[in-house]
A and B are shown apart, each in its own frame.
Chain A
Amino acid sequence: EIVLTQSPATLSLSPGERATLSCRASQAVNSPYLVWYQQKPGQAPRLLIYGSFRRATGIPDRFSGSGSGTDFTLTISRLEPEDFAVYYCQQCGSSAWTFGQGTRVEIQ
């Protein structure tokens, strides 16, 4: 099983700041199989990034994904009030899919 470790667990930032979220895999993940989601309380996860860097439909360009192999990054260039949420990475590259434990982005 590929273990995904997200860091930091919590990111305390102010609107307008840049957020950098890390997702590190215990084994290499092929880029098409790395996905990022945003989740707010009481809601289903919202797809942000698929294929490591492709923005999903309707996702603002302040969200970007990068990385390869075992290290992937989600960057929010300038935080908007609606961006404070929990973010998950997921890999679908092995038979057993896995999620990271999440990074909470909270208002400082």
Chain B
Amino acid sequence: QVKLQESGPGLVKPSQTLSLTCTVSGGSITSGGYYWSWIRQHPGKGLEWIGYIFYTGSTYYNPSLKSRLTISVGMSKNQFSLKLSSVTDADTAVYFCARWSPTTEASWGQGTLVAVSS
């Protein structure tokens, strides 16, 4: 059973880059057919899709974040990462990583809270 775990700083200063890593256990990111995605949830609000990286390495980003966003596979094949530059307090949220495919059940991490504050 695949498990995902987010990690990274819980506090980022305004204008800096938010960096998070998702560590995958029980499966390989390079195994076929899966989309490895990031989602966030602002405090008390709904879910917002951030973007994904397909197992081939292709990416697609939320247009509203695209200019500041990079999703990539980490040094370890069992990690993928998110980098969001020039953050403001509007980027304060719980960030989730998830695995999805059209034919199997999605799996999510537990989420990590990132606050943007000086």
* Stretch from B23-31, B74-82, B108-116 contacting the other chain: B108-116
Q: Are B109 and A51 in contact (CB under 8 A)?
A: no
Q: Are A1 and B63 in contact (CB under 8 A)?
A: yes
* CB-defined contacts of A51 to chain B, threshold 8 Å: 102-103
* CB-defined contacts of B47 to chain A, threshold 8 Å: 37, 39, 45, 88, 90, 99, 102
**Does chain B have a CB within 8 A of A63?**
no
In A72-108, the 8 Å CB interface with B consists of 88, 90, 92, 95-102
Query: For this complex, into which size category does the number of interface residues on chain B fall?
Result: 20 to 34
Could you list 8 further interchain pairs (A-B, Cβ under 8 angstroms) beyond the known A50-B105, A90-B49, A96-B62? A35-B106, A44-B111, A47-B107, A50-B104, A88-B47, A92-B100, A96-B63, A99-B39
Identify 26 residue pairs between A and B in the complex whose beta-carbon atoms are under 8 Å apart, listed by A's number. Answer: A1-B63, A32-B102, A32-B103, A35-B100, A35-B106, A39-B47, A44-B96, A44-B108, A44-B109, A44-B111, A45-B108, A47-B108, A50-B105, A50-B106, A51-B103, A56-B105, A88-B47, A92-B35, A92-B102, A95-B60, A96-B62, A97-B52, A99-B39, A99-B46, A99-B47, A99-B49
